[in-house]
């Protein structure tokens, strides 16, 4: 059983939570907690053992925790995701392999692409691929076609695995804190297009990648995971792109592992991550 709670901080929260579990004869296996003293916010993730009705347990927590506490008792262990792609294969192929060997922590419902480039690899893994071209099409029409596919397939999260189209605020608002993107830069540096070219021209000594939740602000959503590697004057722009793809794959995989295992809390535009 997994329990995740986010609420206003106050004295006695840990005692109240553990008291509820003790009365229900539930044993705590692990407990991670954090207090944001600036925002006076409390976060906790508990792994526990014992038989109990999740709805009743949630009601018991609500009775002892501050008003408007965000409480999830035993969230769905096996999530469902839909992957959005364009032409680059590295992040998608990693997701498909993990999905095939059941190490992803989720089931890939389908893949939506605005080019047919990656249809073949999806078919090799028996994953439905939907082609939704964007050329010569109003953006609203393009997004509505994708929304229809999402509604038919249902998903807990949408994963932008190198999907090179900017989604509208109207689209994003339908999936608050449910759209995960991999950005080819160590944010907040080099926002937008061609970050490796920007990094090369700037002569940086480190390049990286960032996985984040998507919001209305381009590349400025809550950060889930980041990673960097050193580079030097001998790296060409294409060398940086090659190295960057490896980082992007690793960072997106890490972010998905954290999110799908309910280890990421979002408050305002920041995250608390229990790795």
- Known catalytic residues are 219
Burial of 10 (0-12, 13-18, 19+ CB in 10 A): exposed
Closest C-alpha to 111, from 128, 98, 87, 133: 128
What is the Cα–Cα distance from 88 to 52, expressed in whole angstroms?
45
- Cross-strand bridge partners of residue 72: 4
Are 218 and 166 a contacting pair, CB within 8 Å? yes
Are 18 and 27 a contacting pair, CB within 8 Å? no
What is the DSSP-derived secondary structure letter of residue 189?
A: S
């Amino acid at each position: 059983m997994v329990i995740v709670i986010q609420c206003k901080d106050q004295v006695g929260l840990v005692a109240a939570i553990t008291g509820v579990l003790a009365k229900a004869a539930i044993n705590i296996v692990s407990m991670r907690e954090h207090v944001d003293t600036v925002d006076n916010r409390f976060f906790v993730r508990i792994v526990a053992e014992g038989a109990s009705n999740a709805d009743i347990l949630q009601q018991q927590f609500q009775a002892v925790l501050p008003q408007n506490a965000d409480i999830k008792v035993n969230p769905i262990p096996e999530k469902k995701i839909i992957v959005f792609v364009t032409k680059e294969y590295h992040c998608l192929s990693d997701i498909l392999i993990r999905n095939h060997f059941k190490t992803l922590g989720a089931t890939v419902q389908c893949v939506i692409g605005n080019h047919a480039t990656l249809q073949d690899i999806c078919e090799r893994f028996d994953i439905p691929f939907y082609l939704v071209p964007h050329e010569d099409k109003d953006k609203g029409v393009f997004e509505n076609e994708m929304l229809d596919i999402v509604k038919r397939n249902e998903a807990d999260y949408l994963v932008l695995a190198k999907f090179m189209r900017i989604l509208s605020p109207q689209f994003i608002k339908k999936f608050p804190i449910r759209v995960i993107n991999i950005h080819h830069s160590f944010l907040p540096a080099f926002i937008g297009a061609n970050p490796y070219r920007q990094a090369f021209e700037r002569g940086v000594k480190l390049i990286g990648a960032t996985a984040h939740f998507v919001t209305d602000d381009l590349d400025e959503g809550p950060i889930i995971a980041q990673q960097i590697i050193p580079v030097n004057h001998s790296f060409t722009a294409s060398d940086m792109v090659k190295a960057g793809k490896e980082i992007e794959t690793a960072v997106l995989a890490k972010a998905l592992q954290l999110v799908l295992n309910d280890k990421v809390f979002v408050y305002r535009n920041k995250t608390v991550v229990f790795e």
